């Protein structure tokens, strides 16, 4: 009887690994940002209404959020590599299903399955960073990966609009299918296994609930989860409501709105670059605290300008770019700090963060969507509230155990 072949192991981190992980983490945002410009076209194509077309976005977010919990446990048991390959295969098949959908109901179903595949990228990508880069450098790696994946919302809507006008809505899914196939081939060829602590019991319901209980009982983990979720929610509030304010209230054209959106994304990129350069010197706790207070000050300033009657796009965009920079400081450091103490269940810890992030953002999006028609002040008010809660929740719960190298003291014994 032949002995089983040893699992392919992940070698030391290289620049190519960071690039691959950045594209995997960006798979979810890209699947949405490329698709948004085609939504009005789909109303005529499938002879339906806006509510049904909007549902293709809602079910994507729902599938993306819920499936993360399963991916975390599966990767803790079977390893990151096979689960990532499975997720990408699901994404590719579902994207082809979207391409050949003949009714809005088929497209809705295919988009739900597509989200289940797409969420493997961010969940397992964060876990692989923790596995490969270790406790000290994971925050730095996540910051640079976050900077790279910011290109998705920067170029996605523009590219999606060009493809829709030039070749039709199906071109969006042709491009996503090619992208997914390329990622599947790259993971198969270059990504080794990074999980050094597989847990054969990780997928048991009892073990999953116990793991979630352990994580949520850890004040340091919970502080990072809340800081990351609230910080992202502030950014998502702008994403979901800014077009109603900038186009509806201030009369900007869609083209100018796209440039304004790019300005905010640029702020986020600046924040991630600063986080990547400073984490070794200052540590995750310092950067999280600084990013939280920076975002709170900018969010409150935005609200004060609005309440003070300053009606100009710059009154929204200038403080929002600073808020976006604070998000770039908070998110990678919160994710890295949360995962540091849990090498044996990094997948589950990453999945719970992702689920909470998407769930909190979805609730904030509902608040903005329901209130913005009546009063545009709901946008700066929501952003300010989320930003102010970031440092408050983090400092109320966080451990101040960072050493000079940015690692948690619990890991140094």
- pLDDT per residue, tens digit, the chain (413 aa), is 344 434 455 544 566 787 888 888 888 888 887 877 777 788 888 988 766 876 787 788 788 888 888 888 888 888 889 999 999 999 999 999 999 999 999 999 999 999 999 989 888 887 888 777 776 677 777 777 766 666 676 677 777 777 887 888 899 999 999 999 999 999 998 888 877 777 787 777 788 888 889 999 999 999 999 999 999 899 888 877 777 788 777 887 766 776 787 788 889 889 988 888 888 788 888 999 999 999 999 999 999 999 998 888 999 999 999 999 999 999 888 888 888 888 777 778 888 888 888 888 878 877 877 776 667 788 899 999 999 999 999 988 876 554 444 444 443 33
Of 139, 170, 193, the domain-final residue: 193
pLDDT of residue 290: 94
Indicate whether 46 and 183 sit together in one domain. Answer: yes
Domain contains 412? no
Backbone dihedral angles phi then psi of residue 373, each to the nearest 5 degrees: -65, -35
Is 103 within a domain? yes
Name the residue with tokens 């009714």. 103
- Do 204 and 340 fall into the same domain? yes
121 contact partners, CB below 8 Å, separation of at least 6: 23, 24, 25, 26, 27, 28, 84, 87, 88, 183
246, two tokens:
């900038």
- Identify the pLDDT of residue 342: 83
Domain boundary among 193, 228, 260: 193
Task: Give 190's Cβ-side CA count (13 Å radius).
Answer: 15
Say which CATH number the domain at 377 has: 1.20.1250.20
Q: For residues 180 and 204, state if they share a domain.
A: no
Structural domain includes residue 403? no
Q: What is the 3-state secondary structure (H, E, C) of the chain?
A: CCCCCCCCECCCCCHHHHHHHHHHHCHHHHHHHCCHHHHHHHHHHCCCCHHHHHHHHHHHHHHHHHHHHHHHHHHHHHCHHHHHHHHHHHHHHHHHHHHCCCCHHHHHHHHHHHHHHHCHHHHHHHHHHHHHHHHHHHHHHHHHHHHHHCHHHHHHHHHHHHHHHHHCCHHHHHHHHHHHHHHHHHHHHHCCECCCCCCCCCCCHHHHHHHHHHHHHCHHHHHHHHHHHHHHHHHHHHHHHHHHHHHHHCCCCHHHHHHHHHHHHHHHHHHHHHHHHHHHHHHHHHHHHHHHHHHHHHHHHHHHHHHCCCCCHHHHHHHHHHHHHHHHHHHHHHHHHHHCCCHHHHHHHHHHHHHHHHHHHHHHHHHHHHHCCCCCCHHHHHHHHHHHHHHHHHHHHCCCCECCCCCEHHHHC
Environment class of residue 5 by beta-carbon count within 10 Å: exposed (0-12), middle (13-18) or buried (19+)?
Answer: exposed
pTM: 0.75
Whether residue 207 sits in one domain with residue 59: no
Domain holding 68, by residue range, is: 12-193
Is residue 74, in this structure, part of any structural domain at all? Answer: yes
| In a shared domain, residues 333 and 209 | yes
Q: Is 29 part of a structural domain of the chain?
A: yes
Residues 115, 211 share a domain: no
**Number of structural domains the chain divides into:** 2
**Shared-domain flag, residues 140 and 240:** no
339 contacts 197 by C-beta, under 8 angstroms: no
Residues 45 and 115 in one domain: yes
Two tokens at 49? 């209404």
Note whether residue 3 is domain-resident: no
Shared-domain flag, residues 118 and 210: no
Closest-CA residue to 386 (of 289, 271, 298, 309): 298
What is the pLDDT at residue 359? 82
Residue 24 Cα to chain centre, angstroms: 11
The reply to whether 214 falls in a domain is yes
Q: Are residues 232 and 97 in the same domain?
A: no
In a domain, 211, yes or no: yes
* Boundary of a domain, candidates 149, 167, 193: 193
Same domain flag for 166 and 218: no
State whether 49 and 164 are in the same domain: yes
């Amino acid at each position: 009887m032949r002995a089983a072949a040893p699992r392919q192991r992940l070698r030391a981190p290289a620049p190519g690994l960071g690039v691959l992980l950045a594209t995997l983490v960006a798979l979810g945002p890209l699947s949405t940002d490329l698709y948004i410009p085609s939504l009005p076209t789909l109303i005529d194509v499938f002879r339906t209404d806006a509510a049904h077309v909007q549902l293709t976005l809602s079910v994507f977010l729902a599938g993306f959020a819920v499936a993360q919990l399963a991916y975390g446990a599966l990767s803790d048991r079977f390893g990151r590599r096979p689960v990532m390959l499975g997720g990408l295969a699901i994404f590719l098949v579902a994207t082809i299903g979207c391409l050949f959908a003949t009714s809005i109901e088929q497209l809705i179903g295919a988009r739900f399955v597509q989200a289940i595949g797409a969420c493997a990228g961010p969940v397992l990508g964060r876990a692989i960073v923790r596995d490969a880069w270790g406790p000290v450098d994971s925050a730095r790696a996540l910051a640079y990966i976050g900077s790279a994946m910011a290109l998705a919302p920067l170029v996605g809507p523009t590219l999606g609009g060009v493809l829709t006008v030039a070749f039709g809505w199906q071109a969006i899914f042709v491009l996503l299918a090619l992208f997914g196939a390329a990622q599947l081939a790259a993971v198969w060829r270059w990504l080794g296994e990074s999980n050094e602590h597989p847990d054969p019991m990780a997928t048991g319901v009892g073990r999953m609930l116990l793991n979630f209980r352990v994580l949520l009982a850890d004040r340091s983990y919970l502080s990072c989860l809340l800081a990351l979720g609230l910080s992202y929610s502030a950014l998502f509030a702008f994403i979901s409501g800014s077009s109603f304010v900038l186009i509806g209230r201030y009369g900007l054209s869609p083209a100018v709105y796209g440039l304004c959106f790019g300005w905010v994304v640029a702020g986020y990129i600046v924040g991630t670059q600063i986080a990547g350069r400073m984490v070794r010197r200052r540590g995750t706790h310092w950067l999280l605290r600084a990013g939280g207070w920076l975002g709170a000050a900018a969010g409150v300033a935005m609200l004060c300008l609005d309440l003070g009657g300053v009606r100009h796009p710059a009154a929204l965009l200038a403080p929002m770019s600073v808020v976006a920079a604070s998000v770039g400081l908070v998110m990678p450091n919160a994710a890295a700090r949360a995962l540091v103490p849990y090498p044996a269940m990094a997948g589950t810890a990453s999945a719970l963060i992702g689920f909470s992030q998407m769930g909190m953002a979805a609730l904030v999006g509902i608040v903005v969507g329901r209130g913005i028609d009546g009063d545009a002040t709901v946008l700066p008010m929501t952003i300010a509230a989320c930003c102010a809660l970031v440092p408050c929740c983090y400092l109320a719960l966080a451990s101040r155990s960072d050493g000079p190298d940015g690692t948690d003291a619990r890991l140094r014994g």
